[in-house]
Amino acid sequence: MSRGQRLVLQLTGIAVTVAAWEVVGRMMGEGLLAAPSVVLREYGSLLSEGTMLRELFFSLRQMLVGFGLACLVGMPLGIAMGRSRVFDVILHPWVSMLVVLSVAALVPLFLLLFGSGFNFRAAIVFMASVWYIVLTTYHGARGVEPRFLEVACSFGASRLHVFWKVLMPALYPYLITGARIGLVHAIRAMVVAEMYVIVGYGGLIHKTGLHVSTAPLLGLLLTLMTVSIVSNWLLRLAGDWLAPWYKARLTPA
Amino acid sequence: MRYRTGILYILSICAGLLLWEVVAGQFSRVVLSPPSAVLRHLYVNTTSLLLPLLLVRSLGHAALGFLLAAAVAIPLGFLMGRSEKAFHMFDPVVNAIYAIPTVAFVPFLIIWFGLFFPGRTALVFLMCVFDMLVTVSAGARNVDPAQINVGRSFGASRWQIFGKVLLPASLPFVFTAVRIGLVRAVNAMITAELFFAAVNLGAHMQKAQNRFDSAGLLAILTILCVLGLMVQEGVKALEAKLLPWHVRH
């Protein structure tokens, strides 16, 4: 199938979905499901009013702190676990336990531990994303082709050299994939935490959910969707730029 | 080797719990309870049958939501995976909806399904369905074409190819989808109880939070953790038993 044909199919799919949404929306009415035409009209006022974007930036900044910390901690931890059996044995059971834990269930505990301010939200985002980053990096670090390391050793590379020149480049795609998966979970956790204590963008969603019309609510969801898709796309670009030799599809685990 | 790793894991968990016990001693009980207090809470409330009862009730909407999600996601995933046209048509839409954090749909679900059982089931459904759909369609798409061609060469009908080639070849992905879906269902179970009207385990957590009883919260977290791991490892064990030809790497 050529690129053009694929694009036509993709656009058709989107058009069919939006059309179906319009029809169902008109049938059900604004209170149950606002049609896209209504949402579009409402979206202009959401943008010009400014609350939505202000809350969004405020929330994203806090989320990025938690997510950044998760990367800073998770990536070295994953490498250590993947390359050293001691770290693996000590940390693996804890990581596998914490990765299945629901973020929403952590919220009440973290409220007791951290209050409801910035620390709380950063901590929730951190806990939600760090284990996925650790596990992805871990699988990458474990799977590094031993031949590559042996070649470097044969040529008398020092340990530090092997780390920076062989191991790290082999890991770039995994670091990026880990960051992508982590970011998805970070954004989810941000919304969970904010909807629970009703602040920031999540709080705005909660409050907007009480309106009579669902149009502004759908507008907020569309913005969130855009943020998620764009950030994912940016990270993929970063991956292609960082490790162009891996551009051959590396699907997220 | 596996046996030794198991022992080391248990040792690591014991050491971690011991460390936690020591560290928690430095804090007030309100903020961080030691594992001994959590165990006591678990023991007292398990023998009084409170927690098992709450858990069984919680599992109701988790199970129903998961089954509905599986019933939708698996056939739809096969359709998307096997038809190139359907895949390209619906992949962008599925990804776009998937990109929205599911909890953000809660205000909607409240409008449509109310604050109680149907609402909770709907959230579980939504949280499971996309993860499973994406996994099944990826699996069905990646079936080795050589295998299908062999079937065709030997004159197999469409149904025979589906039943004898396609289905066995994509069963590992179905199992993966079920595993991911079940873990999501456990997460969704407690999420639903906290974000709709608080009931069962969610209500237990909220009461503990209002009493500043971190032992109660950690007890529920422990239950959820163990439940999630049991479900995940259970599906893995079942897969190893039922699909011996599929070598996990």
CATH value of A60-245 in 3.20.20.70, 1.10.10.10, 1.10.3720.10, 3.40.50.300? 1.10.3720.10
The pLDDT score that the predictor gives to residue B67 is 95
Distance between CA atoms of residues A159 and A163, nearest Å:
6
Confidence of residue A39 (pLDDT cuts 50, 70, 90): confident
Pairwise CB contact (< 8 Å): A187 & B101 = yes
Mutation target vs B (from A100, A249, A250; most B CBs, 10 A cutoff): A100
Pairwise CB contact (< 8 Å): A13 & B112 = no
H helix runs in chain B, sequence order = 2-26, 35-47, 50-82, 84-98, 106-113, 117-141, 145-153, 158-160, 167-195, 200-210, 214-242
The pLDDT score that the predictor gives to residue B26 is 80
Q: Is the pLDDT of residue A2 over 90?
A: no
The pLDDT score that the predictor gives to residue B66 is 95
In angstroms, the Cα distances linking B122 to A54, B106, B110 are: 31, 9, 10
* DSSP codes joined into one string, B17-43: HHHHHHHHHHS-TTT---HHHHHHHHH
Looking at CA atoms only, how far is residue B107 from chain A in angstroms?
Answer: 5
Nearest CB among A111, A192, A225 relative to B103 is that of A192
Chain B interface includes A92 (CB < 8 A):
yes
* DSSP codes joined into one string, chain A: --HHHHHHHHHHHHHHHHHHHHHHHHHH-TTT---HHHHHHHHHHHHHH-HHHHHHHHHHHHHHHHHHHHHHHHHHHHHHHHH-HHHHHHHHHHHHHHHHS-HHHHHHHHHHHHTTSHHHHHHHHHHHHHHHHHHHHHHHHHTS-HHHHHHHHHTT--HHHHIIIIIHHHHHHHHHHHHHHHHHHHHHHHHHHHHHHT-HHHHHHHHHTTSS-SHHHHHHHHHHHHHHHHHHHHHHHHHHHH-GGG-S-----
Query: B172-208, pLDDT tens digit by residue?
Result: 888 999 999 999 999 999 999 998 888 888 888 888 8
Pairwise CB contact (< 8 Å): B225 & A202 = no
Domain ranges (residues) in chain B: 1-32, 33-242
Mutation target vs A (from B10, B94, B108; most A CBs, 10 A cutoff): B108
**What is the reported pTM?**
0.88
Query: A199-242, pLDDT tens digit by residue?
Result: 888 888 888 888 888 888 899 999 999 999 999 899 888 888 88
Distance between CA atoms of residues A253 and A236, nearest Å:
14
Q: Is the pLDDT of residue B47 over 90?
A: no
Nearest CB among A97, A109, A195 relative to B106 is that of A195
ipTM: 0.86
Pairwise CB contact (< 8 Å): B194 & A16 = no
Residues 6 or more apart from A124 whose CB is under 8 A from it?
A66, A103, A106, A107, A110, A189, A190, A192, A193
Higher pLDDT, B47 or B71: B71
Tokens of A25: 């929306």
Interface of A with B in 109-148 (CB under 8 A): 109, 111-113
The residue of chain A nearest to residue B189, with distances taken between CA atoms, is A102
Interface of A with B in 223-252 (CB under 8 A): 224-225, 228-229, 232, 251
Residues 6 or more apart from A238 whose CB is under 8 A from it?
A176
- Asked whether A232 and A184 are in contact (CB, 8 A), the reply is yes
Number of Cβ pairs < 8 A linking chain A and chain B: 155
Query: B151-163, pLDDT tens digit by residue?
Result: 888 888 888 888 8
Chain B interface includes A19 (CB < 8 A):
no
Pairwise CB contact (< 8 Å): B9 & A13 = no
Chain B interface includes A198 (CB < 8 A):
no
Q: Is the pLDDT of residue B112 over 50?
A: yes
Average pLDDT over chain A, rounded to whole?
87
Tokens of A45: 């006022």
Residues 6 or more apart from A140 whose CB is under 8 A from it?
A78, A82, A170, A171, A173, A174, A175, A177, A178
- Looking up tokens 């619906």 gives B90
Q: Is the pLDDT of residue A133 over 90?
A: yes
| Residues of chain A contacting B194 with CB distance shorter than 8 Å | 104-105, 107-108, 196
Tokens of B100: 């929205």
Interface of A with B in 30-49 (CB under 8 A): 31-32
Q: In the 8-state DSSP scheme, what is residue B104?
A: G
The pLDDT score that the predictor gives to residue B2 is 66
Mean pLDDT of B62-86: 91
Chain B interface includes A221 (CB < 8 A):
yes
The pLDDT score that the predictor gives to residue B246 is 66
Average pLDDT over chain B, rounded to whole?
87
The pLDDT score that the predictor gives to residue A252 is 44
Chain B interface includes A84 (CB < 8 A):
no
Q: Is the pLDDT of residue B46 over 60?
A: yes
Looking at CA atoms only, how far is residue A171 from chain B in angstroms?
Answer: 19
Query: A70-116, pLDDT tens digit by residue?
Result: 999 999 999 999 988 888 888 888 998 899 888 899 999 898 888 88
- Looking up tokens 């064990």 gives B237
3-state secondary structure of B44: helix
The angle at the Cα of A196, spanning A192 to A201, to the nearest 5 degrees, equals: 65
Q: Is the pLDDT of residue B57 over 70?
A: yes
Give the architecture (CATH level 2) of B33-242: Orthogonal Bundle (1.10)
Confidence of residue A253 (pLDDT cuts 50, 70, 90): very low
Q: Is the pLDDT of residue B30 over 80?
A: no
The angle at the Cα of B62, spanning B61 to B65, to the nearest 5 degrees, equals: 80
